[in-house]
């Protein structure tokens, strides 16, 4: 999101359906009350905004979505005319990162199954986060070429600190991102998981591998 949001020809929107997901699912998340009070919680209203004009008079609109936010009954028709890019990350890294900010997740929380379902409904380029960390410029050039967008070097670096398009939940979730000024170095060995966390990562692996096999 920060990479595309740093381009002068892009507006950005951070997780448009988060409030609607929290309201309809009833799950407890950090800052839930703030999110519900500060965002549009009507999924149909959010879908209309996603299908509307690009805010700020920019040429392009980057929307960051979480697959598990798209509950059954939430419209995906607005995305039919979008360029849909699917970002994946190894389950062990997702689980390890998640538990640092919230209690024990389940398969719904980490979104691997729903991501495959959305990919099958809305296919598009698949990008592995490990590949971007290993070669940010090479991978972003490849992605831009694949979607018919001219690469902009400003995608590689951004100012530290919060961004105007951050969701209201940023203070809880985005600490390391706010400290960043670009992509981090290549990732090291996979984190060691045990017990239920290891079982969860293993359960997610077939869904991850399904998309990893398609990564650009």
Domain CATH code at residue 208: 3.40.50.300
Walk along the chain (216 residues) in steps of 10 and give the mean pLDDT of each run.
98 98 96 98 98 94 98 97 98 95 91 98 98 98 98 98 98 96 96 97 98 98
d(Cα 114, Cα 69) in Å, to the nearest integer?
Answer: 9
CB 205 within 8 A of CB 113: no
d(Cα 136, Cα 156) in Å, to the nearest integer?
Answer: 7
Expressed in angstroms, the distance from the first to the final Cα of the chain is 19
Domain containing residue 180: 2-212
pLDDT for position 207 = 98
d(Cα 16, Cα 14) in Å, to the nearest integer?
Answer: 6
At a CB cut-off of 8 Å and minimum separation 6, what does 109 contact? 27, 68, 98, 102
Strand 60-64 relative to strand 86-88, pairing: unpaired
pLDDT for position 158 = 98
Domains in the chain, number: 1
pLDDT for position 100 = 87
pTM for the model: 0.95
């Amino acid at each position: 999101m920060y990479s595309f949001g740093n381009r002068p020809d892009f507006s950005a929107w951070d997780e448009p359906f988060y409030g609607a997901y929290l309201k309809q699912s009833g799950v407890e998340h950090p800052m839930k009350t703030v999110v519900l009070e500060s965002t549009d919680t009507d999924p149909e209203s959010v879908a209309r905004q996603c299908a509307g004009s690009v805010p700020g008079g920019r040429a392009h609109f980057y929307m960051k979505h979480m697959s598990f936010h798209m509950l059954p009954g939430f419209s995906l028709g607005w995305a039919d005319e979008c360029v849909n890019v699917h970002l994946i990350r190894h389950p062990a890294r997702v689980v390890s990162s998640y538990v640092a900010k919230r209690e024990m997740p389940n398969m719904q929380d980490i979104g691997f199954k729903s991501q495959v379902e959305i990919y099958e409904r809305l296919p598009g380029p698949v990008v592995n986060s490990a590949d971007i960390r290993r070669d940010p410029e090479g991978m972003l050039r490849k992605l831009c070429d694949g979607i018919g967008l001219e690469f902009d070097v400003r995608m590689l670096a951004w100012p530290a600190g919060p961004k105007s398009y951050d969701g209201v939940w940023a203070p809880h979730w985005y600490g390391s991102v706010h400290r960043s000024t670009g992509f981090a170095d290549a990732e090291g060995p996979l984190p060691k998981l045990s017990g239920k966390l290891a079982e969860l990562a293993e359960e997610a692996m077939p869904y991850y591998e399904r998309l990893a096999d398609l990564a650009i």
